[in-house]
């Protein structure tokens, strides 16, 4: 639960106001090359099959459906699991609703790649997750794995 609250807090602190009448533009931020290279090395050493996004994160689409795709100002209902790179599960949530623009950049960039009913695994470097912030469960500068099922776009 602490990670969920932290996910919301960081997103709220970094987001622009996203209301239905506001113009919502995806972030153009890119993770530092050092973080991208480090995460790529870890994934390659673990024989993970991934696609590399030019913004600096990696992903694997598990299930692809043709449902509605969210944008950064969408409200999404998801099921997700958060893991550290060593496989330790930090949090697992079966059904939660978020304003996508209020979440970490990795979610804002990764979730719009899929449509309703789809599933994706996001491999995020620190700059697209929690950076140098730590919680009781997530060390600072952690690469993170989010397995996300997009239940609905509201």
Residues 6+ apart with CB under 8 A from 26: 71, 72, 108, 109, 112
Residue 2 Cα distances to 6, 17, 86, angstroms = 6, 24, 19
- Tokens found for residue 134: 């730590």
Pick the CATH number of 2-13+51-153 from 3.40.190.10, 3.10.50.40, 3.40.50.300, 3.30.930.10: 3.10.50.40
pLDDT, mean of each 10-residue run, the chain (154 residues): 51 45 78 98 98 98 96 97 97 97 96 98 98 94 98 97
pLDDT for res 95: 98
Helix (H) or strand (E) segment spanning residue 149: strand 144-153
Please tell me whether the overall predicted TM-score, pTM, comes out greater than 0.85 for this model: yes
What is the pLDDT, as a whole number, of residue 23? 55
State both tokens at 55.
Answer: 């913004």
Residue with tokens 């099922």: 149
Beta strand pairing status for 89-99 and 144-153?
A: unpaired
Q: Where are the domains of the chain?
A: 2-13+51-153
Residue 73 is given by DSSP the state T
């Amino acid at each position: 639960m602490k990670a969920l609250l932290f996910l919301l807090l960081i997103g709220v602190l970094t987001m622009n106001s996203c209301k239905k009448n506001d113009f919502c533009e995806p972030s153009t931020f890119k993770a530092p090359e050092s973080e991208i290279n480090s995460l790529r090395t870890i994934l390659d050493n673990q024989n993970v099959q991934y696609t590399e996004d030019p913004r600096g994160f990696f992903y694997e689409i598990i299930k692809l459906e043709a449902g509605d795709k969210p944008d950064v100002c969408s409200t999404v209902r998801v099921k997700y699991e958060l893991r550290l790179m060593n496989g330790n599960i930090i949090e697992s949530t079966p059904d939660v609703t978020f304003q996508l623009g209020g979440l970490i950049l990795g979610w804002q960039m990764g979730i719009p790649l899929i449509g309703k009913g789809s599933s994706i695994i996001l491999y995020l470097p620190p700059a697209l997750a929690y950076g140098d912030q730590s919680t009781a469960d997530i060390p600072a500068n952690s690469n993170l794995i989010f397995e996300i099922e997009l239940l609905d776009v509201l």
